[in-house]
């Protein structure tokens, strides 16, 4: 196992979520679930983050922000779409301002469905993301990323 998977730092961004999923992401950091036992830290700095957790369907106003955050993160990086809004647009899909899931703007590696996504499934998604992270790191070493 590489060191990246032992210390994944999370960047959480709210792309017009209803805040339901955000509360659940934060719930993962509480004593009950304690993400830090996996070495996970919730950071606010894209340059130091490994995983990008995005909640909510992306809209016209924040698609630039989402792109910029993604581009500022150093490789290897993984994007986890949390909540059904982030996966496909969810109930907001038909809204005039909504673009749809996060994958309309940046490539998504792991989809975590649910409305709101439960902390257990978010942790599951993050752990899935670690596998992707490991793969990307190997590719990076081979020079194919």
Partner 1 sequence: MNDIGWLILAIVYAIIAPVAGCILAGVDRKLSARMQRRQGPPIMQPYYDVRKFMEKEQITSNSVQDFYVACYLLFIIITGVLFFAGQDFLLVIFTLTLGETFLVLAAYSSGSPFSQIGAQRELYMAMAFEPIFLFVAICMYLETGSFSISDMVGSGELPSLMMIGVFLAFIYGITMKLRKSPFDLSMSHHAHQDLVRGLTTEFSGKTLAMIEISHWYENIMLLGIIALFFADGTITGFIIGLIAALVIYFVEILIDNGFARMTWQTALKSGWLVGLVLGLGNVIAYILL
- Site for ligand SF4, rule CB under 6 A: 17-18, 20-21, 55-56, 83-85, 90-91, 115-116
Structure-token pair, residue 103: 């994958």
Please provide residue 89's backbone torsions phi and psi, each rounded to the nearest 5 degrees: 110, -20
- Of 18-26, 68-76, 90-98, 120-128, which segment contacts partner 1 by CB under 8 A? 68-76
What is the C-alpha to C-alpha distance for residues 125 and 34, in angstroms, rounded to an integer? Answer: 15
Cβ-based nearer residue to ligand SF4, 70 or 111: 111
- Position 48 contacts partner 1 (CB under 8 A): yes
Q: At which residue do the structure tokens 């703007």 appear?
A: 105
Asked if 90 and 83 count as a contact pair (C-beta separation under 8 A), the reply is yes
Residue 34 touches which member of ligand SF4, partner 1, none, C-beta under 5-8 Å by kind: partner 1
Q: For residue 62, which of 28, 102, 25 has the smallest C-alpha distance?
A: 102
The CB-of-76 to partner 1 minimum distance in angstroms stands at 7
Taking the least distance from each CB to ligand SF4, the nearer of 33 and 72 is 33
Q: DSSP class of residue 112? A: E
Contact (CB, 8 A) for 53 and 10: yes
Which of 14, 43, 103, 127: binder of partner 1 (CB under 8 A)?
43
Task: Report the residue from 14, 20, 27, 42 that binds partner 1 according to the rule CB under 8 A.
Answer: 42
Contacting partner 1 (CB under 8 A), which of 14, 20, 27, 41? 41
* Residue 3 binds which of partner 1, ligand SF4, none (CB < 5-8 A, kind-dependent): partner 1
Measured distance CA(4)–CA(137) in Å, rounded? 8
């Amino acid at each position: 196992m590489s060191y990246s998977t032992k210390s994944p730092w999370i960047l959480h961004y709210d792309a017009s979520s209803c805040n339901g999923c955000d509360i659940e992401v934060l719930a993962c950091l509480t004593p009950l679930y304690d993400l830090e036992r996996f070495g996970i830290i919730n950071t606010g700095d894209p340059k130091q983050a490994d995983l990008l957790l995005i909640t909510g369907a992306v809209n016209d106003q924040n698609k630039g922000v989402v792109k910029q955050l993604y581009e500022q993160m150093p490789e290897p990086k993984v994007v986890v779409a949390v909540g059904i809004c982030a996966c496909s647009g969810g109930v907001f899909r038909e809204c005039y301002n909504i673009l749809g899931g996060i994958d309309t703007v940046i490539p998504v590696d792991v989809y975590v469905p649910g409305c709101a996504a439960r902390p257990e499934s978010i942790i599951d998604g993050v752990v899935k993301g670690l596998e992707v992270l490991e793969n990307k790191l190997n590719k990076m070493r081979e020079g194919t990323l």
